Structure 1
Amino acid sequence: MELNRLFDLIPYQILNFDKEVAFAKKVNGAWKTYSSKELKRIVDNVSLGLLASQIVAGDKVAIISENRPEWIFVDFALQQIGAISVPMYPTITTEDYGYIFDHAEVKMIFVGDQAIYSKAEAVALNRKIFSFDQLDGVENWSALTELGESGDLAQLEESKKRVKKEDLFTIIYTSGTTGRPKGVMLTHSNILSNVVAVADRMVPPAGVSTALSFLPLCHIYERTGTFCFVYLGFSVYYAESMEKIGENIKEVQPHVFNTVPRLLEKVYDKIVAKGYELTGLKKQLFFWALNLGLIYDPTKPQSGWYDFQLKIANKLIFSKWRKALGGNITQINSGSAALQPRLARVFWAAGIKVCEGYGLTETSPVVSATFGTADGVRIGCVGKLVKDVQVKIAPDGEILVKGPNVMLGYYKQPDMTAEVLQNGWFHTGDIGELDGEFLKITDRKKEMFKTSGGKYIAPQVMENKFKESLLIDQLMVVGDGKNYPAAVIVPSFDGLREYCKRKDIPYSSDSEMVMKPEILEKFQSEIDLYNRYFAKWEQIKRFKLLDESWGINSGELTPTLKLKRKVIAGKYDKLIEAIYQG
């Protein structure tokens, strides 16, 4: 059958796969599942319920919830009547809720739980709110399905026919690292073109594979990924929470999941921390295998001796890594930020294909993605361009993108739209290069800065390298207009405790340890170690250790775990100034 609108994916899945488990979530300790046909029935009823509630084509409806099947039900239901979804991060401020409600002219709101309801209700004015959880005094979303059960399916079919592939289906307000969020307008055609283009990069076989979902559905990365899972007939299980991902992975035993580098870094750090807990021969074997993995390159033939050692390492050590990921994992998609090359090497060596991709909300999102084959990956690159997407590099190194996946523009912001969309090319703001068929990202155009000596610094490249240290959890390079780069560093406190244990250094508190001379000396040696990868003018000359981590709720990270550089610089302005005065 022909796919023109995103909701066509539902009958497409029924026709081709008719899944017994299309979606699933944990309820009272057990997995509650929904089949393909149940998905269609629920979505149709919600659509009819929305029509009965006077939601019509073109109306904007907000969805604010953690990941769960109900999120997808409402999303598909809105599409079928031509209404426009406005997904929002649960973690943003009440002020941002109010701004988006007003700017997007939202008419109705769906919320997940009590905490989200309380924030939304404070600025909802007279907008109708439905909840996914059962909340006192709040109408539950199930009321719409009940209302829809007595509706006219013929009316719904007429409504669906009026929806065209070029119609706007969602406005996604990008979290951004500075300023007010911008509303990215995406059509059914934008996303569907990307779904089909990305599908050929999926390793797990269609119709029989399982995916675990935990990245926010309000972000285009996980949302397009979910539509792709529906297209391929994967069973999608929603993790209970970020804290329970490890537990859910063991239960669900997924073949694939989407993630961001920050989470892979944490997985790797936990694995290494367990390695340090081993003793004797077991510890030696662990780090022998780890060091083998860190020099692995899937694109280059290794020596017979190396291959022999790697087989042993896979049997003795890496098999346990795969078991910790459920035992069935065949592909992990990594996006939203740069992946450390060492992580790509070691996971591929362990038989875990981490496929890095690149894209933006404005490009629906995928521009390029790695194939899960040895000839389809290149360490340090973000894969090959997906079907029908073009890229050219501007004279200043900026990546420009053209294709059916590029947004209509920013909602109510024609000036901003004209700034980034020029002659059909979207200006990404990222700096990169084409290495044959492979795309390589080197930095964000707006994040590069110049020292007082006139030398350009690309902070992302440096930060990614320094975070290879087992003692560094988070790091931001500073020095715009200064005579040398410096850094503010959040230690990996687990790694620091392990180091202190090995060196017989008494560990008191995080705040005291970051002030101790012997700890500062150790971090200086780590900085010296990684400085050698950079030119003299790029090297970090001084640093300050912090005793608190950066997070989403505390404001230093975006919901996709990128650094909010201006926020961090503002929060630690006196400390940063002290670096250059000392």
Structure 2
Amino acid sequence: MNERIYTAPPDTGVSIRGKTLVDVLYEAQARYHNPHFLNQPVGLGQWQPLSLHDFVDQVEALALGLQTLGLARGDRVAFFMESDAHFCLADMACLLAGLVDVPIYLTHAPESIHYVIAHAEARVLVVSNQERLEHIASLLRTLPLVTHVVVADATGVNVSTVEGRPLHTFAELMAEGQRRRAADPEAVVRLRTQIQPSDLATIIYTSGTTGQPKGVMLSHENLSFNALTSFSGIKAYRPGAEGEVALSFLPMTHVFARTLFYGYLYYATSIYFTTPEALREALRLVRPTTFATVPRVLEKIYGALVERAATMPGLRGRIFRWALRLAQRYELGQTPRGLYRWQLRLADRLVYRKWREALGGRIGFIIAGGAALSAELANIFAAAGIPILQGYGLTETSPVITYNRPELNRAGTVGVPIPGVEVKIAEDGEILTRGPHVMLGYYKDPERTREVIDEAGWLHTGDIGYFTEEGFLVITDRKKDLFKLSTGKYVMPQPLEQRLTADPLVEQALVVGPGYKFTAALLFPEEEALRRLAKRLGLDTNRPLEALVQEPKILAVYQEIVDRANEGMDPWEQIKRFVLVPERLSIETGTLTPTLKVRRSVLYQRYADQIRALYEGSASEAEQESTPSTF
């Protein structure tokens, strides 16, 4: 094993230890006053603000109200909630009350939801509203340990019980909590003094690409250390009401958004909640200075730019395409000089400032995580004055292990370690990490815990990567995704898939080939972009998608996309055949994870016939090595 241990470079933040998440709440209250701390959507383009002071007041009241349900410290509370201010309130109230919250993905199938609630032995179920209550109510029939149901927004709710369980509202519980606080002013103080940094804060069930979800146990310090240490590396971060404005649209059920919230809370950042569907309008109205996203959203933005460049007529089109080509030449970490520097300044005045305006006009940086972001996109956005800070981590690491800083950013990498975290590369290329960010373990599963955390405390991430000479971590693939061809050659599918999905015509891609002679791919087209392509090619755009994907002219364009993805790859890695699959992958169908990564095992099973057809009647191995063909 490579014994070199990588740690944070100097001046990239400080390690902040020993805090509970409740400490984070009260320290923020003591330092800042923000009348627009949390901003809850209340209609199209409208938000209802909640001040930091009122948020703390409601957290205390709800925490005391939850105690009236007969809960003991350490009891689990399941959340089936939207990712908004109500979620944040319920989360902090549980933490203050010494309860362990268990968030559930809204997109999970009923059997997965049932599994999580049952496995966690949740005593209380919290839902956002009437719609979520109706969605989950029938599952309670076979969940005897759930004794109470709580609804955040009671609008339209006209029942007092659900499947025989008492139904409570946030308003009722907070009113009861306020009465208790008035009768016993020391009640909240006693709650605070009972909480320790090592206490279990939450169990997050990972929604991985294979198998049953695993309950990741994260402590108060796991999360507080990770959030506060990570934020400390952004030197120019402005706290309080006059500081940063964050737009939040990622699921709070995922550790990425949760940890970001605790960082926002510590600095009393104004947070506006929205959804991916309403993102474009929210960017225009809120004009955030920052937001966090998964790379797929950025790929879609870039895809729109590429398509616009291809179709914009006249002088404006020529200028736009010139500016895009300039941005594609940009290299993070290298200072533009001479003519290129002057050209970038001109392009900024003519084109790039409009890109920034489309994101609200005030973006200081974008945080990207959850999947790999291509180097090309990182460079292009940086050229346009939109820095993307890509990071890396797992639910099991709370989540941040490494990330790029505004002053220390390299395209194609996931940055350098955060202070207090150790990282090293095993002999087989696997990334290992150790530190206060590593989980307590998997809930009720010590055997699987021992499989990923060795006796020396190193967590085995399952990812393959390496450090550059400058000390930046590069992820090459998932260890389990690496596959071997029948020729004995190994293929890493992720780099090819990143190149393919960077094109606006490709919504998702699955590179296949384990046990076969050559590499192939399933391409899932972006339907609207494909229909616009069909129109430009003079084809009938009203035809079904199933017919359009068989058109020779369409296939020829996708062959060009595949050819570009193959450039620079080793011969055995290059995609020799592909098929266009006229279907859309989604979280709801179980084909994508909540962070929009493909579930390989599901896709291999679902599209087994299409994969098999790619290899039927194939030419000799020598021909396949040299002659890519379109299926």
Query: Fold-level match, TM-score > 0.5?
Result: yes
| Corresponding residue number in structure 2 for 1:329 | 363
Equivalent in the alignment of 2:30: 15
Distance in 1 (CA, whole Å) between partners of 2:530 and 2:471 is 41
- Does the CA contact (< 8 Å) of 1:167 and 1:187 recur in 2? yes
Q: Deviations over 1:412-466 (max 9, x none)?
A: 0011000000020000000011113211101000011000011111011111122
Contact 2:19-2:225 within 8 A present in 1 as well: no
CA contact (8 A) 2:18 2:221 kept: no
| 1:147 paired residue among 176, 198, 214 | 176
CA distance in 2, matches of 1:74, 1:185: 18
AA aligned to 1:471 is L
Moved more, 218-227 or 29-38: 29-38
1:394 matched to 2:426? The reply is: yes
The yes-or-no answer on 1:136 pairing with 2:165 is no
Q: 1:179, 1:44 → 2: CA distance?
A: 38
Q: Distance in 2 between matches of 1:253 and 1:33?
A: 16
Match of 1:5 among 9, 13, 20: 20
**Counterpart of 1:189?**
221
Q: How far apart in 1 are the matches of 2:337 and 2:306?
A: 26
Q: Extract unaligned runs of 5+ from structure 2.
A: 1-15, 160-166, 618-631
Structure 1 stretch 483-492 or stretch 410-419: which is displaced more?
483-492
Structure 1 residue 3 displacement after superposition? 6.3
Partner letter of residue 158 of structure 2? Answer: D
Matched AA of 2:414: V
Aligned residue in 1 for 2:495: 461
**Counterpart among 376, 381, 384 of residue 347 in structure 1:** 381
Whole-angstrom CA distance in 2 between matches of 1:469 and 1:254: 27
- The residue number in structure 2 matching 1:305 is 339
Q: CA deviation at 1:252?
A: 1.0
Q: Partner residue of 2:57?
A: 41
In the aligned structure 2, how far is the partner of 1:482 from the partner of 1:437? 37
Give, in angstroms, the shift of residue 65 of structure 1: 1.1
Residue pair 1:13, 1:19 contacting (<8 A) in 2 also: no
DSSP-derived class of the 1:541 partner: strand
Report the TM-score when normalising by structure 1. Answer: 0.97
In the alignment, which of 451, 454, 461 is matched to residue 428 of structure 1? Answer: 461
* 2:244 is the counterpart of 1:215: no
Q: Distance in 2 between matches of 1:153 and 1:40?
A: 15
Equivalence for 2:401: 367
Provide the residue aligned with 1:545 in structure 2: 580
Corresponding residue of 2:514 = 480
Q: CA deviation at 1:361?
A: 0.4
Q: Which amino acid aligns with 1:97?
A: I
Question: Is contact 1:201-1:370 (8 Å) kept?
Answer: no
Instruction: Please report the TM-score for the alignment, with normalisation by the length of structure 2.
Output: 0.89
Contact 1:457–1:538 (CA<8 Å) still a contact in 2?
yes
SS of the equivalent of 1:32 reads strand
Give the number of the structure with larger relative contact order, counting CA–CA contacts within 8 Å between residues 6 or more apart.
Answer: 2
Establish whether residue 63 from structure 1 lines up as the match of residue 53 from structure 2.
no
The match for 2:41 is 26
Q: Is the 8 A contact 1:62 1:106 kept in 2?
A: yes
Q: CA deviation digits over 1:532-551, x for unaligned, max 9?
A: 22110011111110111111
Matches of 1:136 and 1:192 in 2, distance apart? 39
What's the offset of the Cα at 1:471? 2.5
Distance 2:504 2:62 in 1: 49
2:3 maps to: none
State the alpha-carbon separation in 1 of the partners of residues 422 and 99 from structure 2. 31
Deviation at 1:472, TM superposition (A): 2.0
Residue in 2 aligned with 1:206? 239
Q: Deviations over 1:148-179 (max 9, x none)?
A: 11013412211221111111111100011111
Structure 2 counterpart of 1:140, one-letter code = T
- The 5-angstrom pairing of residues 162-561 of structure 1 reads 162-202=194-234, 203-207=236-240, 208-239=243-274, 241-373=275-407, 376-422=408-454, 423-435=456-468, 436-507=470-541, 508-561=543-596
Alpha-carbon offset, residue 485 of structure 1:
0.8
The DSSP-based 3-state class of the residue aligned with 1:480 is: coil
Aligned-pair distance for 1:494? Answer: 3.2
Distance 1:217 1:528 in 2: 39
Question: 2: distance between equivalents of 1:204 and 1:248?
Answer: 22
Change (3 A) 1:2 1:20: farther
Partners of 2:304 and 2:504 within 8 A in 1: no
- 5+ residue gaps, structure 1: none
Deviation of the 1:331 alpha carbon: 0.8
Asked if the contact 1:87–1:218 (Cα under 8 Å) also holds between the matched residues in 2, the reply is yes
Give the partner amino acid of 2:231: A
SS in 1 for 2:356: helix
User: What amino acid does structure 1 have at the position aligned with 2:238?
Assistant: P
Quote the Cα distance in structure 1 between the aligned partners of 2:337 and 2:53. Answer: 52
Moved more, 192-201 or 351-360: 192-201
Number of the residue aligned with 1:88: 104
| Superposition CA RMSD, Å | 1.5
Aligned to 2:624: none
Assess if the C-alpha contact under 8 Å between 1:3 and 1:9 holds in 2.
no
Aligned length: 579
| Per-residue deviation, 1:499 | 3.0
Distance 1:104 1:153, change over 3 A: farther
Tell me the CA shift for residue 255 of structure 1.
0.7
The letter of the residue matching 1:522 is V
Summarize the Cα distance change of 1:81–1:251 in structure 2 as closer, same or farther, 3 Å threshold.
same
Shift of 1:316: 1.0
Aligned with 1:156 (options 176, 185, 188): 188
For 2:285 and 2:556, the matched residues in 1 are separated by 44
Q: Tell me, in whole angstroms, the C-alpha distance in 1 between the residues paired with 2:552 and 2:223.
A: 54
What is the Cα deviation at residue 580 of structure 1? 0.6
Q: Distance in 2 between matches of 1:143 and 1:192?
A: 30
Q: Supply the distance in 2 between the matched residues of 1:297 and 1:76 (Cα, whole angstroms).
A: 42
Displacement after TM superposition at 1:120 (Å): 2.3
Q: Which residue of 2 aligns with 1:105?
A: 121
What secondary structure does 1:519 align onto? helix
Runs of 4+ in 1 over 6 A off after TM superposition: none
SS, match of residue 483 in structure 1: coil
1:2 Cα deviation (Å)? 9.3
- Structure 2 residue identity aligned to 1:148: G
